Amino acid sequence: MEGDRFAELKAKAAAEGLTDEEAAELGKLYAERGGEPHDEARSAGDGDAASEDQESQERRERDAAAQAEAAQERYRSQAIPPGEASEPDYR
């Protein structure tokens, strides 16, 4: 029966794709056939989403701060110091 399920899942994977549960089952069957222990690995969607969201938010904040600092330096370096502004000379 296990061999039939293995063949069924392989065929479905090639044709239409598998659900997360079916993919996990097929992975388990592959591991069992290879004589390896199978870890019930979580899919990317089941990972620690809150931690990833926090890391993403922190990265966005650091990037925004770096961009703001670069823009401020760019504006500062392009500014005309007070007292040095003069009328354009069109002659």
Domain edges within the chain: 2-77
First and final C-alpha spacing in the chain: 95
Which pTM does this prediction carry? 0.40
10-residue mean pLDDT series, the chain (91 residues): 82 90 88 75 57 85 92 83 75 76
Rounded Cα distance, 6 and 42, in Å = 20
The whole-number pLDDT of residue 66 equals 92
The whole-number pLDDT of residue 65 equals 92
Q: Are 61 and 69 in contact (CB under 8 A)?
A: no
The whole-number pLDDT of residue 64 equals 92
The whole-number pLDDT of residue 69 equals 92
The whole-number pLDDT of residue 32 equals 84
